[in-house]
Structure 1
Amino acid sequence: MDLLELFRESEALLEGHFLLSSGKHSQKYVQCAKLMQYPDKARKVVAEVVEKVKDLDIDVIVGPAMGGIRAAYELGSQLNIKTIFTERVDNIMTLRRGFEIKEGDKILIMEDVVTTGKSSMETAKVLEDLGGNVIGIGCLVDRKVSQIDLPIYSAVELFFETYDKENCPECAKGTEAIKPGSRKM
């Protein structure tokens, strides 16, 4: 099965002029929320991650809000593992809503897209400060540009060129960048 075709069918692969959370610009963007609206497609893409992590000893799966929540839930559902999420409060990643991490819990973070890894690493720090042991990061899409020192288990890998505003071909054409993600800059 061509997983990339599932992204195309759900119109999750976007082309245009995008302002990324990192501040960089790109002519391509993956909007996994478009894929996740179709349970059959989401199940198939997440099943690829399941195959890569099914033999790991995982106590808890954690999805950073927003994008990681649905991906984490689907992974937890397929593996039958407890699944919770972190979220930003005053722009700081936190664990709340009565969710708990026990000392020594083995945690897999599950994201929609890993680009810079900022949300993943903020989440890892929160969980480790609570005594958890982050053993890796799962994701629907790994953009292959992060500097994360943890194993990454992705359904697909996609590399898109990114640019500083000054070197962006779309900015040179005068097109306006749109910010499709959930994080405030």
Structure 2
Amino acid sequence: MTEDEVLAEFRAAEALLEGHFILSSGLRSPRYLQCARVLMNPARAARLADALAAKIPAELRNRLQAVVSPAMGGVIAGHEMGRALGLDAMFVERPTGTFELRRGFTLAPGQTVLLMEDVVTTGLSSREAIKAVEDAGGNVIAAAALVDRSNGSADLGVPFFPLIRLDVPTYSADAVPPELAAIPAIKPGSRTKPALDGVEAS
């Protein structure tokens, strides 16, 4: 898929949002791709996952043995990537604040893993998820995401394959430009409740 075709999928799902958004990293942005909406249609999710799987070099694809994604946002994306690659898909979650495999998910020692995300902004949660996989015995040899929002700055420590790169400015909460500050800040997924100054909506 071309970049225009990928963006068309997001627009068709009404998933390309404009406004003042609080990202999971705490940074602020005037634009947001709501992956939950684009993934709610299984056929669309399958098209995007298939296109992303095709971007991973065959030599690397052939070495992969499992897909792991971070909950919650990466669960559907990871499941679809597992289907596209013909691999089991698992997820890590934070029951006590630190990512870990639960629910009976296990990795064999040295099992090769693709870390799958919906969106990468700073790469911090991806690196934390990679550490959890390694702590569980797995070996993350590549990462992928539907959207790379890092403006090319995310370093995950492994080859990284995004379906699309969306270079949108982000700002710390204390450096938001006036035109953006004039718009109520919302946390995607909680659009009905504006955030108080410096406080995320829930």
Does TM, normalized by the shorter one, top 0.5? Answer: yes
Structure of greater relative contact order (alpha carbons < 8 Å, 6+ residues apart): 1
Match of residue 36, structure 1, among 36, 39, 44: 39
Residue 156 of structure 1: aligned partner: 164
- Would you say the 8 A contact 2:92–2:100 is kept in 1? yes
- Any unmatched runs of 5+ in structure 1? none
- Would you say the 8 A contact 1:21–1:181 is kept in 2? no
Greater CA deviation, 146-155 or 34-43? Answer: 146-155
Q: In the TM superposition, what is the alpha-carbon distance from 1:53 to its structure 2 partner?
A: 2.6
Q: Name the CA distance, whole Å, in 1 between partners of 2:92 and 2:124.
A: 13
Q: The residue matched to 1:22 in structure 2 has which SS?
A: coil
Q: Name the CA distance, whole Å, in 2 between partners of 1:173 and 1:97.
A: 42
Q: Name the CA distance, whole Å, in 2 between partners of 1:23 and 1:63.
A: 21
Residue 146 of structure 2: aligned partner: 140
Q: Name the CA distance, whole Å, in 2 between partners of 1:138 and 1:181.
A: 22
Q: Name the CA distance, whole Å, in 1 between partners of 2:8 and 2:109.
A: 41
TM-score, normalised relative to structure 1: 0.92
- Would you say the 8 A contact 1:110–1:138 is kept in 2? yes
- Identity over the aligned pairs, expressed in percent? 42
- The question of 1:129 aligning with 2:135 is answered yes
More strand by share: 1
Q: What whole-Å deviation, never above 9, does each CA across 1:32-59 have from its counterpart, x for those lacking one?
A: 0000011121111111111023622111
Match of residue 182, structure 2, among 171, 174, 179: 174
Q: Name the CA distance, whole Å, in 1 between partners of 2:159 and 2:12.
A: 29
How many aligned positions are there? 185
- Any unmatched runs of 5+ in structure 2? 191-199
RMSD of aligned alpha carbons: 2.1
Change (3 A) 1:172 1:46: closer
Q: In the TM superposition, what is the alpha-carbon distance from 1:30 to its structure 2 partner?
A: 1.2
Q: In the TM superposition, what is the alpha-carbon distance from 1:184 to its structure 2 partner?
A: 9.5
Greater CA deviation, 144-153 or 84-93? Answer: 144-153
Q: The residue matched to 1:108 in structure 2 has which SS?
A: strand
Q: Name the CA distance, whole Å, in 2 between partners of 1:69 and 1:173.
A: 32
Residue 20 of structure 2: aligned partner: 17
Q: Runs (4+) of structure 1 moved beyond 6 Å?
A: 182-185
Residue 110 of structure 2: aligned partner: 104
